[in-house]
Structure 1
């Protein structure tokens, strides 16, 4: 609900010039369409099972046309000649055919459903996995509700199509082919008459399909808006914002409008083409009646071309043919309207990965990384921005030292930190770790070597222990306690009734900002990375707690490279190097005392910080 009333604005920090978080990116891959060939490729891994399904369908279609011939034999031979033996065999054959068809249908349904569910699983995992590699920039431009809608609503709506559509098409085509062949064997004239309505049905079906496709696209987009509205308005943050701003009535009205539009689109989708289908259904009822008339004319002629049994059997085949044609056209309409769903999912699958791992990328061993970080001639521009955020940055961080990045809001501090963790790639220039360009390293090794604690203190809705082990699944209970002692949070956890098994609540709302930051810090400590990036890591701590943590952070930073981004200049007093940024450029650099003595931009920041 990024465009809804009262809920605008992002909650993240750092950097300027980027597209507004919450803005939806509906055009991810222009020109990428969901055609039937691409949809059919989803079935490729299951060729063997589908071949068995096809064989079962063919057998079912073949047995389906046997009964009318048995009926003809009964009418033309068994009854007129009073042949009880022939009658018994024909009746037994009809029972056997029905039984065999039912068994084949059950087996075929089980196999096809299994394939359909496997394809849905593949599609969900492929979409989720691709989105995991999309990089931070994608998610600052795309609503969370939109992503959820495409994974759950769109793929969920495709389930019926993928699960049954291919087998329905093959089954209908096979049944139609067998029926037409059997009808032609009985009488070609009646067969041509029976198929006279097919071109009209195809034309009407195409029109209805195109209309439903447009409606389906609008339905899914509206469903995405509704999902975003729920996700944003009914989260803890959304409830706090809506209540404190007095906008609950407006939010409810906005939701009402979206829900009403979705309901109206549902009605339009259901009723689209009803008149056309009613016309065709009427024709399908009229044609069998007219077939009796034409058959009677042929039967009453001077030289009868057909028998009574043939006419009865033909009508039986005809009564099975039209539902199959109708079913095939209905499936075709369903596929046509579902192309909008496939297109929306394929847009995500086709979206270019901005942070891609090179083939043969180097995996660094964190135990052997010294921690030398270099930025050389780095320029960076956020997607959609017309101006660079960073302009030719040259920063050197020696192994085992502490470098602080400071500056006013929008100076590029957080953006620089993002580049060091390869959450973005520079537009020009390079960022290196121990002389290796980050773009030449595996993403996993970068994550193992560069520990990040950001302003966004995201905690899972799980226990404290599970949140900590997200960073190190193999960590023992003793490891958790050690990390939490360093982060000055163990005593508080120990005072809780359930200790480390305490559930933190959605986004950690059972804890204060300072407690969440210390938990996030402990989570990074567990990974023991050679490079530590602290982005306002102590911003939510009170002065006393911050002072208590300073010694722990100093011990943690010992022997490793630490890069801190801070507004509180008191936290970086002992940094080996302070880099002052202004509008994406390096303005000053030096130690705390050196910069104070120069009386420049840093001295002004320090004076302002001291006066607060």
Structure 2
């Protein structure tokens, strides 16, 4: 009921449409219920009338029925068209809410969940919810109205025969409730399995270049076939369950006809039921059985919609781990003084940072060096509040970052990463991502600063050149310079360079290093580097080991100290010096 209450909330913006939809549904049901009564009335009145009266009555009857069915047609149009539009609007609202929720969720959620599964919740789950949102209330309302109305009229015609029908209907209801529980489990399993198919597909397509470079298409086919077969087996179980459900209900519907014929014949033989009354009774039975069939189909729709909305609701109820504090305020007039004060952090039970202390003055640059897994990237991620510290605090200009709004904090920090992500679109759109309202002149100026303008102008479409998915049409160096232009346009006071040149060739590295030096000027800069040649001029180099800070100082100081940093430096440059 809690889930259904949340589902009902999505009807609120369309309350007027929903009410009118139900009114139209009610008119359709009443017209369907009226036809046998009209037939019964004509049988009683025209049977004894003369020829002239019958002809006149038929004319007005035709006019009345045409008007009645014209109204029914208009109501049916509204229910079919506007009702579906309402369902589509609700689907849009849910998709928007779900997307907004995905945008709010912290990195830890994405660490635990698969992109393909999230896409499944955003697309296929919500389609079934849309169908349920439109057809669900309408089908239940029409069906219940017809069933109750038919029962009342059937009781009016013959009470004992109607009681027999009620007994068969109750047996049918108990059978449906039992099968309904099994169907709910199979539909939930369907959701999980199709999400697995989507996850496998997304994983393969995202890494298609790696797949082809290793000639591992057969491995990926096997992985996809495995998830595809699991989904097929889940569907088989689902269809077996549906088959039992629909077959059983079909048997009970046949039992209703048997009850009418045998029971009706028995009561006619007794003299308590007229043959003409049994004919009218049979017409109402058809009206009575049709909504039962609709309710049987609705049960399947309900389970699909319910299982989809349940998965939707699980995401919507996920606690957002990183969000603005109630008393948060914007970070303004940023100077760029950074303090890590006794910071501790860990992923689940794994300790990554323990009582870390770092101070960076405004406009100064520090470099983080050390083996993979030591926590260098984590230190930077904590500054952006991708994760929150588990102990201590991080301050910018003397203000705890947990008291700052996330938007103002992240707008004040620029990050250039090793793995550059370019969005599908043009070069211009990707550069302007750093400042969506930037003018063309500002975009061009940023590109010039990143030493990418001349290359862009050499392209046939210039700044309107399509970069491909994830920038596949560009080289690593070109993508990196576009990402640097994006940061130039953003113009943050604090800069993070996360191994920005480690994946590039020497020539590209030299070009990009010049761009990064220009970008770092007059900004507080944190650099994560494996290539030690790029950090010689840093104001302070901090060597991070598995147990925290091992040593710190300038490049020359650490070389003279002849400890861990000097060892790293020799390992990296010994071969080059020998070759020279």
TM-score range, shorter-chain basis?
over 0.9
The Cα of 1:585 is off from its aligned counterpart by 1.2
Structure 1: how far apart are the matches of 2:460 and 2:68? Answer: 69
1:3 maps to which residue?
none
> Is 1:72–1:312's contact at 8 Å kept on the other side of the alignment?
no
Secondary structure, counterpart of 2:435 in structure 1: coil
1:19 maps to which residue?
none
The Cα of 1:97 is off from its aligned counterpart by 3.0
Q: Which has the higher contact order (CA 8 A, sep 6+)?
A: 1
Structure 2: how far apart are the matches of 1:362 and 1:147? Answer: 32
Q: Deviations over 1:218-277 (max 9, x none)?
A: 222221222122222223xx2332233332222212322332333343344334242453
Higher fraction of helix = 2
1:543 maps to which residue?
506
2:228 maps to which residue?
259
Structure 2: how far apart are the matches of 1:210 and 1:106? Answer: 34
Structure 2: how far apart are the matches of 1:409 and 1:300? Answer: 93
The Cα of 1:146 is off from its aligned counterpart by 1.6
Aligned pairs (5 A) from 1:444-459: 444-459=407-422
1:272 maps to which residue?
241
Aligned pairs (5 A) from 1:147-186: 147-186=118-157
> Is 2:366–2:542's contact at 8 Å kept on the other side of the alignment?
yes
Secondary structure, counterpart of 2:431 in structure 1: helix
1:341 maps to which residue?
308
Structure 1 counterpart of 2:114, from 143, 147, 161: 143
1:351 maps to which residue?
318
Is 1:518 aligned to residue 481 of structure 2? yes
Deviates more, 1:561-570 or 1:47-56: 47-56
Structure 2: how far apart are the matches of 1:57 and 1:313? Answer: 24
The Cα of 1:431 is off from its aligned counterpart by 1.3
Is 1:281 aligned to residue 246 of structure 2? no
Structure 1: how far apart are the matches of 2:232 and 2:286? Answer: 36
Is 1:502 aligned to residue 465 of structure 2? yes
Change in CA separation of 1:186 and 1:247 when aligned onto 2, cut-off 3 Å = same
Q: Deviations over 1:50-107 (max 9, x none)?
A: 2222222222222221111111112222124345144554454444333322221211
Structure 1: how far apart are the matches of 2:318 and 2:537? Answer: 45
Compute the TM-score of the two structures, normalised by the length of structure 1.
0.88
1:564 maps to which residue?
527
Deviates more, 1:335-344 or 1:439-448: 335-344
> Is 2:339–2:358's contact at 8 Å kept on the other side of the alignment?
yes
The Cα of 1:210 is off from its aligned counterpart by 2.3
Structure 1: how far apart are the matches of 2:19 and 2:111? Answer: 45
Structure 2: how far apart are the matches of 1:262 and 1:313? Answer: 48
Secondary structure, counterpart of 2:395 in structure 1: strand
Structure 1: how far apart are the matches of 2:485 and 2:231? Answer: 45
> Is 2:376–2:528's contact at 8 Å kept on the other side of the alignment?
yes
The Cα of 1:155 is off from its aligned counterpart by 1.8
Is 1:68 aligned to residue 36 of structure 2? yes
> Is 2:422–2:471's contact at 8 Å kept on the other side of the alignment?
yes
The Cα of 1:206 is off from its aligned counterpart by 2.2
Change in CA separation of 1:558 and 1:256 when aligned onto 2, cut-off 3 Å = closer
Change in CA separation of 1:279 and 1:406 when aligned onto 2, cut-off 3 Å = closer
> Is 2:168–2:255's contact at 8 Å kept on the other side of the alignment?
no
Aligned pairs (5 A) from 1:434-453: 434-453=397-416
Secondary structure, counterpart of 2:478 in structure 1: helix
Is 1:77 aligned to residue 45 of structure 2? yes
Change in CA separation of 1:308 and 1:91 when aligned onto 2, cut-off 3 Å = farther
Structure 2 counterpart of 1:55, from 23, 36, 41: 23
Secondary structure, counterpart of 2:359 in structure 1: strand
1:26 maps to which residue?
none
Structure 2: how far apart are the matches of 1:548 and 1:122? Answer: 47
> Is 2:415–2:496's contact at 8 Å kept on the other side of the alignment?
yes
Structure 2 counterpart of 1:223, from 183, 186, 194: 194
The Cα of 1:468 is off from its aligned counterpart by 0.8
Aligned pairs (5 A) from 1:475-490: 475-490=438-453
Aligned pairs (5 A) from 1:286-305: 286-299=255-268, 301=270, 304=272
Change in CA separation of 1:79 and 1:430 when aligned onto 2, cut-off 3 Å = same
> Is 1:135–1:424's contact at 8 Å kept on the other side of the alignment?
yes
2:184 maps to which residue?
213
Aligned pairs (5 A) from 1:404-419: 404-419=367-382
Structure 2: how far apart are the matches of 1:311 and 1:555? Answer: 94
> Is 1:208–1:333's contact at 8 Å kept on the other side of the alignment?
no
The Cα of 1:464 is off from its aligned counterpart by 0.9
1:21 maps to which residue?
none
The Cα of 1:573 is off from its aligned counterpart by 1.4
Is 1:36 aligned to residue 7 of structure 2? no
The Cα of 1:284 is off from its aligned counterpart by 2.2
Change in CA separation of 1:79 and 1:180 when aligned onto 2, cut-off 3 Å = same
> Is 2:495–2:520's contact at 8 Å kept on the other side of the alignment?
yes
Structure 2: how far apart are the matches of 1:469 and 1:227? Answer: 32
Structure 2: how far apart are the matches of 1:293 and 1:142? Answer: 60
1:325 maps to which residue?
292
Change in CA separation of 1:272 and 1:494 when aligned onto 2, cut-off 3 Å = same
Unaligned runs of 5+ in 2: 576-580
Structure 1: how far apart are the matches of 2:452 and 2:9? Answer: 53
The Cα of 1:35 is off from its aligned counterpart by 3.8
Structure 1's consecutive aligned runs of 4 or more residues displaced over 6 angstroms after TM superposition are none
Is 1:232 aligned to residue 188 of structure 2? no
Cα RMSD of the aligned pairs, angstroms, is 2.3
Structure 1: how far apart are the matches of 2:277 and 2:65? Answer: 17
Structure 2: how far apart are the matches of 1:141 and 1:301? Answer: 72
Is 1:193 aligned to residue 158 of structure 2? no
Structure 2: how far apart are the matches of 1:262 and 1:434? Answer: 54
1:112 maps to which residue?
83
> Is 2:88–2:130's contact at 8 Å kept on the other side of the alignment?
yes
